[in-house]
Chain A
Amino acid sequence: MRRIALLVVVLALVAAGSWWFFAHRAQGNGTESLTVYYTKMDGTSMGSWNVSMRPQQPGESSAEHLKNMALYAAVQSAAGPPSDVEAIRFPPGTHINTVSVNGSTATVDLSHEVTQQVGGTFGENGEFKGLVYTLTGVPGINAVQVTVDGQKLETLPGGHVELDQPLHRSDF
Chain B
Amino acid sequence: MNSINRFIARIFRGVFPGALAMAFALGSATLPAGAASATYLYQNQQIVFSHLASSNGVTMIGIQDPGLRGLLKTLGAIVTWRPGRRYVLITTAEPEVISFAVGDRNYDVGPVTSQASVAPFARADDVYLPLDALLRALYLAPKPDGSRTVLQPQLGSIDVRAAGTRAKLVAHAGAPLAARVVSESANRIVYEFDGVGSTLERHRTIDAGGIRSLEVTTSGSIAAPKTLVTISLASGATHGRVHNSGGNDFEVAFTGASSGAYPNAVARAPASATPMPAPSLTPGASTVSGVQPSAPPAVAGPAQVGAVTVAQTSNGSTVAVAISGNATYQWHRLRAPDNRFWIDIQNAQLTVPPSVQAEVNPLLSLRVRQNDPTTVRIALSLVGQNVLAVSPSATGLSITVDNQQVADAAHEGSGSIGAVLSVSEAAPAVTPVPPEDYGQGSPSWKFGPQSTYVPTNPKLIVIDPGHGGSDPGSERNGTKEATLTLDMAKRLRDILIARGWQVKMTRTTDVDVYQPNDSARDELQARDNIANDAGARLLVSIHVNAFINSGPHGTTTYYSKPEDVPLAQYVERDVATDAGTKDDGTVKSHLYVTLHADMPAVLIETAFLSNPDDYALLVSPAWRQKVAQAIADGIDQYTQQYPVQSTGGQ
- The answer to whether A45 touches B445 (Cβ under 8 A) is no
A window 126-172: CB within 8 A of B: 128-129, 133, 137, 153-162, 164, 167, 169-172
- Cβ of B475 < 8 Å from any Cβ of A? yes
Q: Among A3-11, A17-25, A46-54, which stretch is in contact with chain B?
A: A46-54
- Cβ of B369 < 8 Å from any Cβ of A? yes
- The answer to whether B592 touches A154 (Cβ under 8 A) is yes
- Cβ of B467 < 8 Å from any Cβ of A? yes
Tell me which of A52, A122, A123, A129 contacts B113 (CB under 8 A). A52
Which residues of B are at the interface with A, using a C-beta cutoff of 8 A? Answer: 78, 80, 82, 85-87, 89, 91, 94-97, 99, 101-104, 106, 108, 110-111, 113, 168, 170, 245, 247-249, 251, 277, 280, 338, 340, 342, 367, 369, 371, 377, 430, 432-433, 435-436, 438-441, 443-446, 467, 471, 473-475, 481, 519-521, 524, 543-548, 551-552, 556, 558, 560, 584-585, 587-593, 595, 603, 605, 608-610
- Which residues of A sit under 8 angstroms from B556, Cβ to Cβ? 43, 121-122
Given contacts A78-B91, A86-B551, A158-B520, 7 further A-B contacts (CB under 8 A): A44-B584, A44-B585, A46-B443, A83-B249, A122-B546, A133-B443, A162-B595
- Which residues of A sit under 8 angstroms from B439, Cβ to Cβ? 35, 48
Tell me which of A50, A93, A123, A169 contacts B547 (CB under 8 A). A123
- Which residues of A sit under 8 angstroms from B467, Cβ to Cβ? 158
List 23 A-B pairs, Cβ < 8 Å. A45-B438, A46-B443, A51-B108, A54-B101, A57-B101, A71-B80, A72-B87, A75-B80, A79-B95, A82-B110, A82-B249, A88-B547, A95-B91, A119-B474, A119-B481, A119-B544, A120-B608, A121-B543, A129-B589, A154-B521, A160-B558, A160-B589, A160-B603
- The answer to whether A44 touches B474 (Cβ under 8 A) is no
- The answer to whether B589 touches A161 (Cβ under 8 A) is yes
Tell me which of B95, B104, B552 contacts A122 (CB under 8 A). B552
- Cβ of A58 < 8 Å from any Cβ of B? yes
How long is the Cα–Cα vector from A88 to B589 in the complex, in angstroms? Answer: 15
Q: What is the interface size of chain A, counting residues whose CB is below 8 A from a CB of the partner?
A: 69
- The answer to whether A92 touches B474 (Cβ under 8 A) is no
Identify the 9 closest CB pairs spanning chains A and B, nearest first.
Answer: A119-B474, A120-B546, A120-B545, A45-B435, A79-B95, A171-B590, A155-B520, A154-B521, A170-B445
- The answer to whether A172 touches B445 (Cβ under 8 A) is yes
- The answer to whether B441 touches A119 (Cβ under 8 A) is no
- The answer to whether B106 touches A54 (Cβ under 8 A) is yes
- Which residues of A sit under 8 angstroms from B441, Cβ to Cβ? 35, 37, 46, 48, 133, 137
- The answer to whether B97 touches A51 (Cβ under 8 A) is yes
- The answer to whether A75 touches B443 (Cβ under 8 A) is no
- Which residues of B sit under 8 angstroms from A105, Cβ to Cβ? none
How long is the Cα–Cα vector from A158 to B444 in the complex, in angstroms? Answer: 29
- The answer to whether B433 touches A44 (Cβ under 8 A) is no
How long is the Cα–Cα vector from A84 to B587 in the complex, in angstroms? Answer: 25
Q: Write the chain B residue with the least CB distance to A49.
A: B111
- Which residues of A sit under 8 angstroms from B110, Cβ to Cβ? 51, 82
A window 53-71: CB within 8 A of B: 54, 57-60, 64, 68, 71
- The answer to whether B521 touches A71 (Cβ under 8 A) is no
- Which residues of A sit under 8 angstroms from B86, Cβ to Cβ? 57, 60, 64, 68
Q: How far is the CB of B582 from chain A (nearest CB, A)?
A: 10
Tell me which of A40, A84, A167 contacts B432 (CB under 8 A). A40
- Which residues of A sit under 8 angstroms from B102, Cβ to Cβ? 57
How long is the Cα–Cα vector from A164 to B277 in the complex, in angstroms? Answer: 38
Known: A121-B589, A125-B558, A170-B444. A79 touches B608 (CB 8 A): no
- The answer to whether A83 touches B94 (Cβ under 8 A) is yes
- The answer to whether A120 touches B544 (Cβ under 8 A) is yes
- The answer to whether B471 touches A167 (Cβ under 8 A) is no
How long is the Cα–Cα vector from A128 to B446 in the complex, in angstroms? Answer: 18
- The answer to whether B249 touches A170 (Cβ under 8 A) is no
Q: How far is the CB of B511 from chain A (nearest CB, A)?
A: 15
- The answer to whether A40 touches B435 (Cβ under 8 A) is yes
Q: Write the chain B residue with the least CB distance to A45.
A: B435
- Which residues of A sit under 8 angstroms from B104, Cβ to Cβ? 54, 57
- The answer to whether A95 touches B80 (Cβ under 8 A) is yes
How long is the Cα–Cα vector from A68 to B94 in the complex, in angstroms? Answer: 23
How long is the Cα–Cα vector from A95 to B76 in the complex, in angstroms? Answer: 12
Q: How far is the CB of B593 from chain A (nearest CB, A)?
A: 7
- Cβ of A107 < 8 Å from any Cβ of B? no
How long is the Cα–Cα vector from A153 to B519 in the complex, in angstroms? Answer: 9
Q: Write the chain A residue with the least CB distance to B113.
A: A52
- The answer to whether B608 touches A45 (Cβ under 8 A) is no
Known: A71-B80, A79-B95, A161-B591. A50 touches B545 (CB 8 A): no
